[in-house]
């Protein structure tokens, strides 16, 4: 098994699921096909949450993998934070600036009003409650996951600082996240309540656990029977997400979490992965950041009401393909030149 390739494949699959979800959400917002198919399409949008879960598990795994042989202390904690900042901020700054520029000159998001506080918080990846209520949404909306990534990096840097980033760090972080979740019930700040009440953050710890016990997992999932069982379980979970009704309520999120874990394990333990999804894994970060621009163009077309259902489906497929192409262009022309030419950051460790 080539771990780096498996992780890249997981990145690609996760990014594609998010693009598909956002494209579908636009379609279902403006076109109601009616009946059972409408239920399926609306629920398929939730597959994007599975992709986000996979991203968080990957982060937990990669952070453990790249620091397992590192000693603790302030110097290494500082180096860790610097490398993570170099990896996520530059390309995020670029696309956030593009979006703010388009908004400022009135090309898009004309109904939105962004304060200076909102703009600064968006750039710095700080939690910020906007006019939408209890949703933490940076101006570049998909950046909400990066806010949690940044928080996790800070927490992990704390483990490195005190030389607790190996096996014991898993349990320290778990207790820390549980404590924050409990305390969120008693604070008056809506931003703190919203930020610390989310359970997705535990998926970082799951990634750390998978790294710590990967040899046992590989032994347990090395037979064809066990892999078929994993695949069957994932299909059942996916069917549950797709066919579920509203009666599941808040419990639905746990189905997404479990689906993300099962899918991660299935791909992670594969002996070989290949194909175009693997290439998408290389450009997954750029794809994640840029696909919203293409999706906005699709939204404009859908909102116009000029297209029937069949044509809107075709345009949705085109949107998906164009988003992938734009992400690849961003990766090759910007991200790879900006990030991966620096000796301090390696693609496999991103």
Interhelix angle 309-330/3-30, rounded to 10 degrees, is: 140
Query: Tell me, what's the pLDDT at 45?
Result: 86
**Below-70 pLDDT ranges, the chain:** 1-3, 130-135, 245-250, 340-350
- CB-side exposure of 134: number of CA atoms within 13 Å? 10
CA neighbor of 277 nearest in space, from 87, 57, 6, 91? 6
- How far, in Å, CA of 111 to CA of 132, rounded? 13
Burial class (CB in 10 A: 0-12, 13-18, 19+), 328: middle
Could you give the C-alpha distances from 1 to 78, 264, 271, in angstroms and in order? 32, 14, 4
Percent of the chain as helix, strand, coil, to the nearest 5:
75, 0, 25
CA neighbor of 14 nearest in space, from 260, 291, 273, 324? 260
* Angle formed at CA 104 by CA 98 and CA 110, multiple of 5 degrees: 105
Residues in the chain: 350
Query: Tell me, what's the pLDDT at 44?
Result: 86
pTM: 0.93
Q: DSSP characters for 179-247?
A: HHHHHTTT---HHHHHHHH-STTHHHHHHHHHHHTHHHHHHHT-SHHHHHHHHHHHHHHHHHHHH--GG
Query: Tell me, what's the pLDDT at 271?
Result: 86
Neighbours of 128 (CB within 10 A): 21
Torsion angle in degrees (nearest 10) through CA of 190, 158, 256, 209: -160
Query: Tell me, what's the pLDDT at 247?
Result: 57
Q: What are phi and psi of 129, to 5 degrees?
A: -85, 125
């Amino acid at each position: 098994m080539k771990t780096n390739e498996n992780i890249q494949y997981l990145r690609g699959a996760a990014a594609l699921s998010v693009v598909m979800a956002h494209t579908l959400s636009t379609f279902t917002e403006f076109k109601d096909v009616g009946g059972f198919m409408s239920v399926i399409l609306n629920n398929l949008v939730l597959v994007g949450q599975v992709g986000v879960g996979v991203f968080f598990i990957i982060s937990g795994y990669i952070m453990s993998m790249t620091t397992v042989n590192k000693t603790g202390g302030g110097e290494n904690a500082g180096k860790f934070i610097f490398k993570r900042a170099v990896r996520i901020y530059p390309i995020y700054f670029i696309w956030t600036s593009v979006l703010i520029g388009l908004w400022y000159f009135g090309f898009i998001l004309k109904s939105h009003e962004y304060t200076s506080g909102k703009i600064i918080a968006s750039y710095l990846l700080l939690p910020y409650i906007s006019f939408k209520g209890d949703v933490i949404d940076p101006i570049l909306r998909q950046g909400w996951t990066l806010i949690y990534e940044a928080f996790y990096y800070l927490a992990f840097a704390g483990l490195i600082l005190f030389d607790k980033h190996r096996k014991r760090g898993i349990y320290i972080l778990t207790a820390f996240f549980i404590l924050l979740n409990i305390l969120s019930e008693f604070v008056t700040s809506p931003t703190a309540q919203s930020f610390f009440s989310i359970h997705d953050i535990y998926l970082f710890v799951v990634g750390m656990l998978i790294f710590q016990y990967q040899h046992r997992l590989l032994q347990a999932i090395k037979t064809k029977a066990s892999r078929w069982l994993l695949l069957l379980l994932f299909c059942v979970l996916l069917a549950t997400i797709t066919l579920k009704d509203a009666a599941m309520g808040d419990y639905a999120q746990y189905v997404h979490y479990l689906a993300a874990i099962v899918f991660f394990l299935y791909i992670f333990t594969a002996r070989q992965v290949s194909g175009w999804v693997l290439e998408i894994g290389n450009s997954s970060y750029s794809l994640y950041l840029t696909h919203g621009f293409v999706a906005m163009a699709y939204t404009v077309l859908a909102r116009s009401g000029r297209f029937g259902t069949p044509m809107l489906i075709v345009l949705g497929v085109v949107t998906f393909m164009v988003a992938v192409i734009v992400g690849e262009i961003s990766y090759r022309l910007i991200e790879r030149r900006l990030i991966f030419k620096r000796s301090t950051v390696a693609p496999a460790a991103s």
